[in-house]
Amino acid sequence: MCIGMAPPRKAPWPHPVIAREGWPFLAISVVAALAVTLLAGWAWATPVWVIALFVLQFFRDPARIVPIGEGLVSSPADGRIVAIERTEDTWLKREALKISVFMNVFNVHSNRAPVDGIVRQRWYNPGKFVNADLDKASLENERNAVWFQTTDGKDVTSVQVAGLIARRILCYVEPGDRLQRGDRYGFIRFGSRVDVYLPVDAQPRVALGDKVRAASDVLAKL
């Protein structure tokens, strides 16, 4: 199989380098920093500007290059691989290969479709907010699952899991939507993880501890 590189795909909505989810937060932090600068001077304003810079980096959402190749599963999130294991996919009631990506507050938090295909179903479950780096987060935390089915009928479940300080999972797709690998489909605020459940015969292309980027890096081959 030959793997090449494709140009970044255009998002289905206008999407600049800063994710639209961050515009209100960035506006508030910059206005606050300007106000403190004008009223109290730079000495008092410096910490507020640091907060504004943190908000700016957290909500960055750069374009990504999507590898070309049949059966590739791209990472749906930026972060570190914290699990590669056979387990139960409770959403589709099957045994599956699970690959988990942990995102810290310095990672890009825009989530991308891992495969080309159609959205068959999505589920939302309220829950706790324990550290997303822990295995129990997959079962106990607030989470949103999306069932993707590829054009050749293979099932992939991508589960957004809230973290210790994450308090909002955003998902923009509905059953019937058709996505290309690398398309933006959601966002999680402030630290979290994404679990990807694949057919048991999928071939992992990553190892524990690897750092991956959404859309650009391949997790497995179906």
Catalytic residues: 192
Compute CA 184 distance to the chain's CA centroid, rounded to the nearest angstrom. Answer: 9
Tell me the C-alpha to C-alpha distance, in Å, between residue 123 and each of 129, 142, 145, 173, 210: 18, 11, 5, 11, 28
CA gap 79, 105 in Å, rounded: 10
Beta-ladder partners of 106: none
Helices and strands (H and E) in the chain: how many:
3, 16
Pairing of strands 178-179, 155-162: unpaired
Residue that has been written with the tokens 């980096």 in this structure: 57
Residue that has been written with the tokens 């957004």 in this structure: 160
